[in-house]
Structure 1
Amino acid sequence: MSFLVLLLVLWVEKFSAWRAKIQQDGPWLRLLAWVERQSDFIESPWLAVLVLVLLPLVALALLLTLLEPLAYGWLALPVHLLVLVYSLGRGDPLAALGPFRDSWRRGDAEAAYLVARRDLALQAEEGNALLPQVQNYLLWQGYQSFFAVIFWYALLGPVAALAYRLLALMTEHAEQPIVRERAVQWRHAFDWLPVRLLAASFALVGNFVAVSRGLLHELLNWDISAAQLVVQAGRAAGEVAEPILGEAGVASLDGLWQLLVRAAVLWYAGLAVWTLLL
């Protein structure tokens, strides 16, 4: 059933507007704001993480335990699908890049800077630094929005996928530094394995020699962040050239997107083979 859910997620993502309707974070964000106002949780930030992440996971696990014995488990399929869609990243990275791509293609660096700040929350100190930042943004969003969630769903099911997204939301929205720090630590642990699998996938579908030469010594490094690793692997595998204003710069973004697509096809092919062998 898991592989069927993964296929349905692609349909929901590409051919429906359900994702925006399902990804409603308001209730959870209000709970986060309430927790951060309580002194007990600030003094015990691990308790805040347990309340904000563990309680929803327990509720989901109980619901699945009740539904899976019924109708050969088919009643649990909609729950799997809803949870997995909710656990995907927020927004569409490719659509968000549209105004930047248009400005960069025209050679209008000033407009590209403005739309990058408005749409992507990126700020570059100098013109040559802007395109690399956008390339890094595309690689990171592709990983955290899709690959990390798919990995944990395929390995441990919807509970793990939801845990990853809740930790990501806490990392992005927590206002208390101590709470955010604990969420970052947990998310780093969740990112450690899938980001290395994606780096290996980049090597298989891109420039294998460049990735292995540049990242082989970093594979077991606990301290390197997931963002650093996915960016270094993606840029090496995609053979990203020096930033150039105009069509060539836009082509580098297209190349990185195609690298992500090829890696996704590789993952789905591997999951299909794994499903057949089980």
Structure 2
Amino acid sequence: MSFLVLLLALLIEKFSGWRTRLHLQYDRPWLGLLRAVEAMPAVAGRPWLGVLLAVLPPLLLLALLITLLQPLAYGLLLLPVHLAVVVWSLGRGDVLRSIGPFRDAWRREDVQGAYHVAERDLGLRGESDSDLLAQVQATLVWQGYQGFFAVIFWYALLGPVAALAYRLLALIVEHGQPALAERAAYVRHAFDWLPARVLVASFALIGDFVVVSKTLLQELLSWEIPAPRLLAQASCSAEHADQGKVGAKGVASLDALWQLLVRSAVLWYAVFAACALLL
């Protein structure tokens, strides 16, 4: 059933507009819970308690629902539950659509326009042309990872509760008060450690293994390096992404990084399919 859920999630992700039209990623109820938790006097001095109160109730409810549905109809009732949780846990928005205006301006060599749309649509400010392109490349890889790969990884490994936990932590980091967001970021860093390195290994296998190995061998097992920086370095090394070119070559580097993410996802879907057949 897990592999079927992943295939359906991939189909929905491919047509990412479905998530909005079908209201599959409606955050307002949980954000209301987060605001209620943040308003509690007991949480003011204990942000870790706030993170627990915001994350644990949905996880416990999901675990209880799965336990209750497991013996019914041979477990078939779990399929829509698993699918709904996985789709809800995917990233918000469409990263390709978000960087579209930047791509158009960069291809036209309209550097001033590229700076404007990068700040407007992506919240990025570059100190130079190469720095701005590098930031956009890193954003593309990070959004592809945290919006899809990390969720699928934890679902395949530990089930829907882990996938939901990852997204809830990400939402706290994005929408929570600074103290809660900082604590949630610590926990998400732990969640990111293993899948980020699995994806780096995929980049090395699909891209330039020698360059990725030389570049990141010393940092691969480091706990301190943030996942966004690790993934940005690995992806650019694997694809020899040229971070300093304005025009078509810079846009081509973005396309190459996206295709690297797609090929990595296909690789791990194939691995999971083989495991599902053999086990």
Q: TM-score, normalised by structure 1?
A: 0.97
Instruction: Give the residue type in structure 2 aligned to 1:27.
Output: P
Q: Distance in 1 between matches of 2:218 and 2:77?
A: 46
8 Å Cα contact 1:42/1:179 also seen in 2? no
Residues 118-150 of structure 1: CA deviation (Å, up to 9, x unaligned): 111111123331111100110111110111101
Q: Secondary structure at the match of 1:218?
A: coil
Q: Distance in 1 between matches of 2:48 and 2:16?
A: 38
Residues 230-257 of structure 1: CA deviation (Å, up to 9, x unaligned): 1111111111124211111110100001
Q: What's 1:273 paired with? A: 274
Describe the shift of the 1:17–1:240 C-alpha distance in structure 2 as closer, same or farther (beyond 3 A): closer
5 Å-filtered alignment, 1:62-73, equals 62-73=64-75
Of 121, 129, 132, the match for 2:131: 129
Q: What's 1:245 paired with? A: 246
Q: Distance in 2 between matches of 1:72 and 1:17?
A: 32
Residues 153-204 of structure 1: CA deviation (Å, up to 9, x unaligned): 00000000000000000011112x3211210111011011000000000001
Matched, 1:178 2:179: yes
Once the 2 structures are TM-superposed, how far is the Cα of residue 11 of structure 1 from its aligned partner? 1.4
Once the 2 structures are TM-superposed, how far is the Cα of residue 42 of structure 1 from its aligned partner? 2.0
Q: What's 1:114 paired with? A: 116
Q: Distance in 2 between matches of 1:64 and 1:174?
A: 28
Residues 63-110 of structure 1: CA deviation (Å, up to 9, x unaligned): 011112111111010010000000000111111111111111111011
Instruction: Give the residue type in structure 1 aligned to 2:14.
Output: K
Q: What's 1:50 paired with? A: 52
Q: What's 1:168 paired with? A: 170
Q: Distance in 1 between matches of 2:80 and 2:165?
A: 18
Instruction: Give the residue type in structure 1 aligned to 2:26.
Output: Q
What stretches of structure 1 move > 6 A for 4+ residues in a row?
none
Q: TM-score, normalised by structure 2?
A: 0.96
Q: What's 1:4 paired with? A: 4
- Unaligned 5+ runs, structure 2: none
Q: Distance in 2 between matches of 1:243 and 1:72?
A: 56
Q: Distance in 1 between matches of 2:218 and 2:8?
A: 38
Q: Secondary structure at the match of 1:123?
A: coil
Instruction: Give the residue type in structure 2 aligned to 1:14.
Output: K
Give the paired residue count: 277
Q: What's 1:146 paired with? A: 148
Instruction: Give the residue type in structure 2 aligned to 1:60.
Output: L
Instruction: Give the residue type in structure 1 aligned to 2:225.
Output: I
Q: What's 1:89 paired with? A: 91
Q: Distance in 2 between matches of 1:165 and 1:151?
A: 12
| Aligned-CA RMSD value | 1.1
8 Å Cα contact 2:242/2:249 also seen in 1? no
Once the 2 structures are TM-superposed, how far is the Cα of residue 213 of structure 1 from its aligned partner? 0.9
Q: Distance in 2 between matches of 1:126 and 1:239?
A: 20
Q: Secondary structure at the match of 1:122?
A: coil
Residues 3-32 of structure 1: CA deviation (Å, up to 9, x unaligned): 000000111122464312111111111221
